[in-house]
Amino acid sequence: MKVTCDTQIDVTPEQLWPWLTEPEKQKVWMVGVESNELVEGDGHSVGSKFQMKIKEGGRLSDYDGTVVEYDRPKRLGVEMVGGCGKKPMTMRATYALESTPGGGTRLAYEGGGEVPGVFMKFMMVFFFWMPKLMIKKFMKRLKQAAEAEAQAA
C-alpha cells in the first residue's frame, strides 16, 4: 500500500519544519496522536528513536519509531512499527519540502505500510481509499496550522 499527497503551504520550509518534527505541533495536525516521546538520540538525526501513542478506533495504540532520513529543512523520513492489532504493522512516511516562488513550500508526502496477515491484506483491497483520505485531512490541518502561526507572527 502506497499513498502520496502534494500540498502547497504558504510558509517557508524553515517555518514548516517544526510542524513535522515537534511533538506538540504534530498533535495539532496528526489526528489521534496522543503523545510522541523521544527515547534514543537527539531527535534531529538519523537513528533517533521515539515512541508514539495514537488513538485508533477508540483504542490507544503504541508505535515504536525511528528517524530514517533527516535533512533539515528538506527531507524527513520515519518508520514506525506497532498498532492496535495482535500483529504489528510497519509504516513509513517521507516528507520532502521544496521552496516555491513567493516564499512558500511544496510538501510532498509519500507513505506506505505493510499490514500483517492475510485477512488484513484482503481488507485493504476494499478500504484502500481510507489512508489517502486520512493523509489529505492531515495535510489540510497542517496547512491551516502552519499558515495561521506564520500570519500571527
Lowest mean per-residue pLDDT among 45-59, 84-98, 124-138, 139-153: 124-138
pTM of the model: 0.87
84: nearest Cα among 64, 65, 60: 60
Q: Which CATH class is domain 2-152?
A: alpha beta
Share of the chain above pLDDT 90, in %: 72
pLDDT band at residue 129 under the 50/70/90 scheme: very low
Q: Within 13 Å of residue 138, how many CA atoms lie on the same side as its CB?
A: 26
